[in-house]
Chains A and B, each alone.
Chain A
Amino acid sequence: MAEEINCEETKRQVHEYLHNELSEQEIVDITAHVANCESCESDYNFEHAFNNVIKQSCDEAPPAELAQRIIDRIRLIDSGRADH
């Protein structure tokens, strides 16, 4: 049965929640708390939004030739011509 958890515990677990490091029961408890607590909800929203902003900032495509160079390198290794 869902256990009541307080704001302090909820706020402390925000990263563990967003990064999926909690047990299913903990997820259920926190989800219930957050849905009914404006303060915790805004904290969770913040960390969630922050994660998205960080993700976006790191979405950098490698140079187009890199993939081909990797493939060439692998084929070279495989053919035994390059062993390091």
Chain B
Amino acid sequence: MGDARWSNLNETAMMTRVGAKPLDSEPMTQSNEPISAETRIKEFEEQALPYTRLLFGAALTKTKNYADAEDLVQETFAKAFRAWNQFQKGTNLRAWLMKILENTYINMYNKKLKERGSGSLDDLEEFQIGAAESLTARPQRSAEVEALNQMASKDVREALQNLSEEFRMVVYYAVVEGLSYAEIADVMDTPVGTVMSRLHRGKKALFDALKDFAASEGYDTTPTKEKKASARAAKAGNE
């Protein structure tokens, strides 16, 4: 069953396997002769500006408000434009812009680098424990898919915004922007293992939050057996 669907998915996976090269912050000497100001602007507008929507999405995910997100995007493009001759053609422009956005955010909001990457919360060991846990049987998965599809985007968005920044941004970069683990590691200045851990755990935390929300809104994602058990527990608690 499902052969066609899976081969489609697989094809998409193959097609997106590009630009996994690590980003290079070294200024690159370009072989091309000096270009006119007008060409430079045109080139930047054609190549970088189409990422406005994606950058705005990332900025909004980071800052959680429109005014700050707009400022952040504007600053990011301003910086990117000044550094445009350092961008190595043929490498991933999206990831390059994201890295600038990430750094701009740190500068603008005076975020300390030491807060990141040292996360005692997300070592690999805990991630491995988490992985083992997620392997327990989940017979209700199709009900969960159904419940997910009924969720309003704004509720999903809100749940995502409630994740801590490290988890939120990894989920955003991986799922929404489609950056590779290596690119995310570079953008966020963390080891790849941490990226994996945050993605797995971030998605799990997001789903748990959505499940709680769904339960409070009257969606049903709980399998009957569990429901009976928790009803019994609630009853026992009341007595």
In the complex, which residues of chain A have a beta carbon less than 8 angstroms from the beta carbon of B14? 20, 24, 27
> Please, how many residues of chain A have a CB less than 8 angstroms from a CB on the other chain?
50
Q: A57-B157, A78-B37, A78-B40 are in contact. Are A45 and B145 (CB under 8 A)?
A: yes
Say whether B74 contacts A54, CB under 8 Å.
no
Q: A46-B145, A54-B160, A58-B61 are in contact. Are A35 and B1 (CB under 8 A)?
A: yes
B65 → A minimal CB distance (Å): 12
Does residue B142 face the partner (Cβ distance < 8 Å to A)? yes
Nearest residue (CB) in A for B199 is A15
Query: Contact flags (1/0) for A67-82 with B, using CB distance below 8 Å?
Result: 1011101110111000
Q: Which of A27, A45, A79 has the most CB of B within 10 A?
A: A45
Say whether A73 contacts B77, CB under 8 Å.
yes
Query: Contact flags (1/0) for A30-49 with B, using CB distance below 8 Å?
Result: 01001100110111111111
Say whether B171 contacts A42, CB under 8 Å.
no
Does residue B108 face the partner (Cβ distance < 8 Å to A)? no
Interface of B is mostly: helix
Say whether A34 contacts B6, CB under 8 Å.
yes
Does residue B209 face the partner (Cβ distance < 8 Å to A)? no
B168 → A minimal CB distance (Å): 10
Q: A31-B10, A70-B73 are in contact. Are A20 and B141 (CB under 8 A)?
A: no
In the complex, which residues of chain B have a beta carbon less than 8 angstroms from the beta carbon of A4? none
Does residue B25 face the partner (Cβ distance < 8 Å to A)? no
> In the complex, A31→B2 CA distance in Å?
10
Query: Contact flags (1/0) for A11-30 with B, using CB distance below 8 Å?
Result: 11001111111001001000
> In the complex, A63→B66 CA distance in Å?
9
Nearest residue (CB) in A for B5 is A45
Q: A12-B135, A20-B180 are in contact. Are A53 and B156 (CB under 8 A)?
A: yes
Cβ-defined partner of A21 (8 Å) among B145, B148, B153, B180? B180
Residues in chain B within 8 A of chain A (CB atoms): 1-3, 6-7, 9-10, 13-14, 16-17, 37, 40-41, 44-45, 49, 52-53, 56-57, 60-61, 66, 69-70, 73-74, 77-78, 81-82, 131, 134-135, 137-138, 141-142, 144-145, 148-149, 151, 153-154, 156-157, 160, 171-172, 174-176, 178, 180-181, 196, 199-200, 203, 206-207
Given contact pairs A20-B180, A58-B176, A61-B53, enumerate 11 new A-B contacts (beta carbons under 8 Å): A11-B135, A45-B141, A46-B144, A46-B145, A53-B156, A54-B171, A54-B206, A55-B176, A59-B57, A69-B74, A73-B77
